[in-house]
Structure 1
Amino acid sequence: MISTKRYDLLMHLLDDNSIQRETTLPEMDHKPLPWETYMQATCECLDWRGSWCNKDRRAAEDELGETLYSKFPHYAHQALVAAHVLLDKGLITVDELNNKMQEIQARLERV
């Protein structure tokens, strides 16, 4: 069993409306939202700069997407795993992540 204590901030994002349901064929034709495209580009830049290689990213997405983050929608896995790994590597703190998430939430509420 993987402990989620350190990742409570991320796990808190899951609510009853966002729990992963069975995937149907129309969902597989999903057109990426802008944030998903930006997330992919960010991951590519991290690989290009040698910070987090795509092979390791994909392995982490597979492992954590099937276990810790399995109830999250498939398209959220990349962002969750990125935050998870950045926390693990000590590149960000839980407080920094929480502050940034609150900042983004406030910005979205103003729109």
Structure 2
Amino acid sequence: MTEARRYGVLHETLDDIGERTDVSLRCIEHEPEVWESRMQVTCECLSEGGALDNLERRHLEDRLGETVYARFPVQTRSALTVAHTLMDRGFFDEEELRSKMDQVREKMTVD
């Protein structure tokens, strides 16, 4: 099974966020959006709780970001890497994540 198929729910988000267009490092020099700051806090909590060490996550972001998730904007790679790794570790599966993402999308369209 290919990475794209195995993690289809993550690859499908490319339709929502759009493909990476800026390949320079300038794309990471911006004021973080609220979701980015919250994602970093979540990563800190995962590291503190022992679920996903920050250094390990950064190494995974580098590896996965330039291979499996190369088409995604740089800012989204933390979220993709965390979800990818937590699925690998059995915290949840693709269908559970898809269900939760559908709930969030529905809530966002109602609000």
| TM-score in terms of structure 2 length | 0.89
Extract structure 1 runs of 4+ deviating beyond 4 A: 23-26
Give the C-alpha shift of residue 3 in structure 1.
2.8
Whether 1:73 aligns to 2:73 is yes
Partner of 1:82: 82
Change (3 A) 1:14 1:51: same
Change (3 A) 1:96 1:21: same
After superposition, residues 18-33 of structure 1 pair within 5 angstroms as: 18-23=18-23, 27-33=27-33
Amino acid at match of 1:85: T
Whether 1:15 aligns to 2:15 is yes
CA distance in 1, matches of 2:98, 2:34: 22
Give the C-alpha shift of residue 14 in structure 1.
1.1
Aligned length: 110
Q: Are the equivalent residues in 1 in contact too, given 2:47–2:54 (CA < 8 A)?
A: yes
Change (3 A) 1:45 1:16: closer
Q: Share of identical aligned residues, percent?
A: 38
Change (3 A) 1:45 1:17: closer
The answer for unaligned runs of 5 or more in structure 2 is: none
CA distance in 2, matches of 1:83, 1:28: 21
Amino acid at match of 2:35: W
CA distance in 2, matches of 1:108, 1:21: 26
Find the residue that maps to 2:22 and give its secondary structure. Answer: coil
Change (3 A) 1:75 1:87: same
Partner of 2:59: 59
| TM-score in terms of structure 1 length | 0.89
